[in-house]
Amino acid sequence: MAVRAPLAPPDLEPYRRELTGYCYRMLGSGFEAEDAVQETMLRAWRHADSFEGRSTVRSWLYRIATNVCIDMTRQVQRRARPMEMGPSSPPDESFLGPLLTDHPWVTPVPDSRAAPETSDPADVAQYRESVRLAFVTALQHLPPRQRAALILCEVLRWQAVEVAELLGTSVAAVNSALQRARATLSAVGAEAHVADLDPPDAALLTRYVDAFERYDIEALVALLHADAVQSMPPFAMWLQGAANIGAWMVEPGPSGCRGSRLLPTSANGCPAFGQYRRDPAGGYTPWALQVLEISDGRITGMNFFLAFMDPERLFPTFGLPLHLDG
């Protein structure tokens, strides 16, 4: 009897970006998503001889990635943003509270590592909507298998029969999981967005950088929506309202952010900037990764992920240097 030769190990690298996007939605952390993808690749290579070609390489990798993510979700409590932890605060330093560096925050993901390599406007819009910080946070309310079913069916457009095979369950169970997941997202307000996000606006962003680097608070506030929000994890404090944000920018005075420099990047389908503050030893040192959300020609969200969260990894992950010369 002839013995079938083993299949050659498949090329896995072409799947890294889409797996990163999938794992990010599952885990709510850009850092953990990259760790999960790396573990997925290692497991795939370790068991490459068991891949018999009965399914596609893509579905085989997604099955491994799903199991990796489910394993990882057992190790941490549900991730959140400051807006899910309590009401907004007045623009007063006494409300700032402690640095919660050990809290499981929802953190951003670089578009350079997770966005699909396509120029199709529909695909780009779908990606941006499915990685917006509010939606990724809402996904964390779902049990891991419901989360996987919803992402695979409603974000990645897999057929229910494909998802059932991946999860080792029935189509009826997948449809039931989807129904429960939609009900949970509706209950946490994930389906009631204030407004759809706009594509990055070059002119608006140029004005923003100019106002921020000059620390012209009046000009900066003029770029904000009246109900704009600002958050600053790992602090739990967050602000709502352009006037409150403007007041906070000079509280406590004189603000340490005056004289900052901004370098552009992108995160979660949104324009983003690495903010560097003056270093007493010379030059500029990382302070915050700013992720801006824009709607109707105004900035509606200023999500500042402070470098305290992971000082050696946050900026390099987004292609930003760890020091700027003066």
- How far apart CA 31 and CA 38 sit, in angstroms, is 11
pLDDT of residue 9: 55
pLDDT of residue 10: 65
What is the chain's mean pLDDT, rounded? Answer: 91
**pLDDT tens-digit series, residues 63-82:** 999 999 999 998 778 899 99
The pTM for the full model equals 0.92
Residues 38-46: contacts with CB within 8 Å, 24+ apart? 39/68, 40/64, 40/65, 40/68, 41/12, 41/16, 43/68, 44/10, 44/12, 45/9, 45/12
The single-letter DSSP state of residue 191 is T
pLDDT bucket at 284, cuts 50 / 70 / 90: very high
pLDDT bucket at 138, cuts 50 / 70 / 90: very high
Could you tell me the CA-to-CA distances from 42 to 39, 64, 86, 152, 297 in Å, in that order?
Answer: 5, 10, 40, 22, 44
pLDDT bucket at 313, cuts 50 / 70 / 90: very high
pLDDT of residue 192: 45
What topology is assigned to 80-141+199-326 in CATH? Answer: Nuclear Transport Factor 2; Chain: A, (3.10.450)
**pLDDT tens-digit series, residues 231-260:** 999 999 999 999 999 999 998 766 789 999
User: Does 77 or 18 have the greater pLDDT score?
Assistant: 18
How many alpha carbons fall within 13 Å on the CB side of residue 139?
A: 28
Highest-confidence segment of 44-48, 124-128, 174-178: 174-178
Query: Mean pLDDT across the stretch 209-220?
Result: 97
Question: 144: cis peptide before it, omega within 30°?
Answer: no
Which range (40-49, 108-117, 268-277) has the least confidence? 40-49
pLDDT bucket at 194, cuts 50 / 70 / 90: very low
- How far apart CA 138 and CA 188 sit, in angstroms, is 7
pLDDT bucket at 191, cuts 50 / 70 / 90: low
State yes or no: pLDDT of 230 exceeds 70: yes
pLDDT bucket at 5, cuts 50 / 70 / 90: very low
State yes or no: pLDDT of 31 exceeds 60: yes
pLDDT bucket at 178, cuts 50 / 70 / 90: very high
Q: Domain ranges in the chain?
A: 80-141+199-326
- How far apart CA 150 and CA 165 sit, in angstroms, is 15
State yes or no: pLDDT of 56 exceeds 60: yes
pLDDT of residue 184: 95
pLDDT of residue 176: 97
As given in the structure block, the two tokens for residue 143 are: 């049990």
The single-letter DSSP state of residue 110 is B
